[in-house]
Structure 1
Amino acid sequence: MGYRREVVDDLPDASRGFGFFTFIAGTDVLGVRLAMDGHHTVTAVLLAVAALTWIVLGYVVPWTAVLGTSERPVVARADGTWFIWVVAAQSVAVAARMMLYPLRPRDLTAPYWVSMGACAITVLAGARIVEMEDAPMVNATRGLIGGLAVVFWAFATWLIPVLVAAGWWRHVANKVPLRYDATVWSIVFPLGMYAVAGIYLGRADHLPLVGIVGSAELWCAFTVWCVAFVVMVVHFWRSVVHVGPATVKTQENA
């Protein structure tokens, strides 16, 4: 290895050690792209390399960067690269999924909206920490957490058009029938969480625009809730009340 000493020096560095996980994410991104073109053998090799590297680095980096240093507090040197650990794990999961199952229009169901809701929960948690009363740990991390909350809010915002486009691709471009099922409520929760997160983040980080977006999104979430509720009632009436329990039971037995 041409830069062995530099690698050894970076591993115990809390601000640089987690950057090694970019190798895993990059390898899986390449593998997923090749799988989309049908190069499954190459993708399998890249997945194996990435998975093995993820297992090794998953133990080595946290141990050397966090537990293997005497510097305290370690969190003082934490930065956004720590989240690459999570991204690397997600990239392995995505690559494995592409190897096992093809991505079909009917697979893009409503629960995919939960990914946006997860980001919104992170934003809300960060905003609440920023608003906490002064304490040594809070004061040391308030700026970092406030900045990361904005990054996660921006990513959640970016996901909304992507998820809408995925729904269009599923139901309009590929003509998958749009019918009610319980998973529709997986859209309502993320929208509501995104609205609440925006309101709190706007107040905590003094970002009026984010707060305005959150307040507007709250009405959007309420509208989607009303639509989902009405559709649920109509579905219940058509499938149970109007048809009759006996007919439904006969259809289920058939």
Structure 2
Amino acid sequence: MTLADTLLQRARHLAPGSFAMVMATGIVSIDTSQHGLPWVARALFAFNLLAFAWLLALSLLRLTRFRRELVADFTHPGRGAGFLTFAAATCVLGSQCLLVVHWPRVAGALAALGALAWTVLTYLFLAAAITARIKPGFTRSIHGGWLVAVVATQALAALLTLLAADQPAAHTGALFGALCLYLLGAALYLLIITLVVYRMVFFPLRAREFTPPYWIDMGALAVTTLAGSLLVIHTPANGALAALLPFVKGFTLFFWATATWWIPLLVLLEIWRHGRRHVPLRYETDDWDIVFPIGMYTVGTYALAQALQLDFLRVIPAVGVYVSLLVWALVAGGALLRGYRGFRVGGRRHPPQ
């Protein structure tokens, strides 16, 4: 098999949620940067730039060469939401450009790209899901992956807030836009999570159906906590939006508390999945949907402690940074092992001519 054939196969079978790797790596990079590990943060940032460029190239190749398969994935309610990981990943990478290195122009360009991707993908996905003539049914459609819509919204809100803090000239307008996105993301979460919990509780859920995207039930709350905390930190006390700060503080704490509540339940379900039902532990692309929520919970808690001046909360991110880094390393190791095995198998099936 030639290199061109390999690239085409990779592009053709690219998972809709593949940009979750960039989301996960980006938030772990920010996490390590906040906790005195700058060399780790910069190494992950460099890796993320390469991963983003690689996945973007494969996505464009798939769009041009395998458009039918791409459209089929996008219009399927059970898979289409995964494409929103591109918008979320773009915004997380933009936040890295401000928090890990100081590249404000690159961050601004990524914010513009993220906003465009968020707008186009969100509305097209919802329109496709609503207008589809044949629908696969409730249990095959709704799952935690739908909450990537919330993650993308709040990641954009967080990036706009960071840009406003870095560029005071556009402060009020950017903060107002970030606040509107924060409130929209909160509304979307309350709407979607109702459907997700209804599906989990009142319909049979097999162990193999409890997939990693269900961790976004917590991850969407964690990124909402981050977006709200950044708004509290960077909104001037005497500015036009100051009157809304008490509301944002209370709402943000509400979402953090709910995110905290989710963690033990998700861990129990993982034990049930792998320990009781013996679903094998092996790498799949969706595993990055576990890494991102863990890293985001750590970063969100760190920001919340700063926003509400609750120093006793800092113990959570002080421990969580190593947990998120360990989980990232395990998933990345699984990805490398799977890629190596695939290369070995491919090499035996297609020996050099």
Distance 1:222 1:84 in 2: 31
Q: Give 1:89 deviation, angstroms.
A: 5.6
TM-score by length of 2: 0.43
Q: Note the aligned Cα RMSD (angstroms).
A: 2.7
Equivalent runs, 1:217-236 vs 2, <5 Å: 217-236=320-339
| 2:345 aligned counterpart, secondary structure | coil
Letter in 2 for 1:117: G
The Cα offsets for residues 43-94 of structure 1, whole Å up to 9 and x where unpaired, read as xxxxxxxxxxxxxxxxxxxxxxxxxxxxxxxxxxxxxxxx789646643465
Name the structure 1 match of 2:283: 180
Q: Does 1:154 align with 2:257?
A: yes
Q: Give 1:208 deviation, angstroms.
A: 1.0
Query: Percent of pairs identical after alignment?
Result: 33
**1:116 pairs with one of 204, 209, 218:** 218
Distance 1:184 1:247 in 2: 28
Distance 2:276 2:300 in 1: 32
Equivalent runs, 1:89-104 vs 2, <5 Å: 90-92=193-195, 94-95=197-198, 102-104=204-206
Distance 1:85 1:228 in 2: 29
| 8 Å contact from structure 2 (residues 222, 256) kept in 1 | yes
Name the structure 1 match of 2:241: 138
The Cα offsets for residues 14-64 of structure 1, whole Å up to 9 and x where unpaired, read as xxxxxxxxxxxxxxxxxxxxxxxxxxxxxxxxxxxxxxxxxxxxxxxxxxx
Q: Does 1:243 align with 2:352?
A: no
| 8 Å contact from structure 1 (residues 192, 221) kept in 2 | yes
Cα 1:85–1:186 change in 2 (3 A) is: closer
Cα 1:248–1:234 change in 2 (3 A) is: farther
The Cα offsets for residues 122-171 of structure 1, whole Å up to 9 and x where unpaired, read as 10111011111135543211112112211211111111111111111111
| 8 Å contact from structure 1 (residues 239, 248) kept in 2 | no
Name the structure 2 match of 1:208: 311
Distance 2:314 2:251 in 1: 17
Listed as ranges, the gaps of 5+ residues in structure 1 are 1-82, 250-254
Distance 2:287 2:245 in 1: 36
Cα 1:248–1:157 change in 2 (3 A) is: farther
Listed as ranges, the gaps of 5+ residues in structure 2 are 1-185
| 8 Å contact from structure 1 (residues 129, 138) kept in 2 | no
Letter in 2 for 1:119: L
| 2:279 aligned counterpart, secondary structure | coil
| 8 Å contact from structure 1 (residues 120, 190) kept in 2 | yes
| 8 Å contact from structure 2 (residues 229, 303) kept in 1 | yes
Name the structure 2 match of 1:129: 231
| 8 Å contact from structure 2 (residues 282, 334) kept in 1 | no
Name the structure 2 match of 1:196: 299
Cα 1:85–1:176 change in 2 (3 A) is: closer
Name the structure 2 match of 1:106: 208
Q: Give 1:215 deviation, angstroms.
A: 2.6
| 8 Å contact from structure 1 (residues 116, 160) kept in 2 | yes
| 8 Å contact from structure 1 (residues 201, 211) kept in 2 | no
Distance 1:182 1:244 in 2: 19
Cα 1:248–1:116 change in 2 (3 A) is: farther
Q: Give 1:211 deviation, angstroms.
A: 2.3
TM-score by length of 1: 0.58
Distance 1:220 1:248 in 2: 40
Choose 1 or 2 for highest CA Rg.
1
Cα 1:145–1:179 change in 2 (3 A) is: same
Q: Give 1:214 deviation, angstroms.
A: 2.0
Equivalent residue pairs, number: 166
Letter in 2 for 1:198: T
